[in-house]
Structure 1
Amino acid sequence: MAQKNQDLSSRQLLDLIGLSEEAPLDLLEDEPLDGLNGDLGAILRERYRSFIQPHRFAPGDLVCWKPGMRNHRLPRYGQPVVVLEVLETPLFDAETDAGSTYFRERRDLVLGMIWETGPGRGDFISFHFDRRRWQPWTQEH
């Protein structure tokens, strides 16, 4: 027999998706800051050069984050994802708060990955990203 949908409180909804005061989840997990003990100016310049280093992608290519460029929780560093589409005209995040890290973020690369947790585990999903943050994936990653 089908169960009737019930209205959930925000606390109940957060509990269902695994977020609660007892089990908080950082959206960007802390990772070691290896190599950031030197000259911060030099590190910033190196990251800038990496950011502007172009790569040509085509549907079917496997890609992963460039080192130091991840700005979303998923996928993890080194995890391959597949290029679904390269957008000629970038979309821009509609976030209206200039204090958000996603304010007017460029989205010109559609990537597909396997969802790893929860009820949709194993499902193929897609997200839009800024292609400047990605590089071709190899086994060494």
Structure 2
Amino acid sequence: MTSVNSKAWESLVNRLKSLKSFRLHTGNINNYVELKMKRFKSSSEELVACLDVQFSNLNENIKVSDNGTLLLSAKDDPLTHDRDDLKITLKVFLNEFSINEVDSAIAAILDELKVDSIEQLIIDFPHSGDDEVDNVW
């Protein structure tokens, strides 16, 4: 990970420790050329790269919403576009298979973006470890 504001990081970790679960909202990754133009070997590599970019600019006053969403992207100067010109894609990384978590992520993004639908949903399902695969064979 790149250099992170240690006070901001400590503050964030302390807030997240008290939560049963939380959701990371990274914002529009198309705003980051280094993420948009790179081909990642896996979804895990993509997520790590995205978080690396976001955490390198971590603000000490970052907020965790009541529903457990941590908004990592800057929302100070939101761009407004006609909804017909937008294609909204939600990518959900699951650490365990749970349809409730998928539903919750969709509901949270609809609320965050103040829209009633998304065009595309991409789900990165949890991966079993290599040991587990070997045992099956």
Same fold (TM over 0.5): no
More strand by share: 1
More helix by share: 2
Alignment TM-score, normalising by the size of structure 1 = 0.23
Higher relative contact order by CA 8 Å / sep ≥ 6: 1 or 2?
2
Q: In terms of Rg, which structure is larger?
A: 1
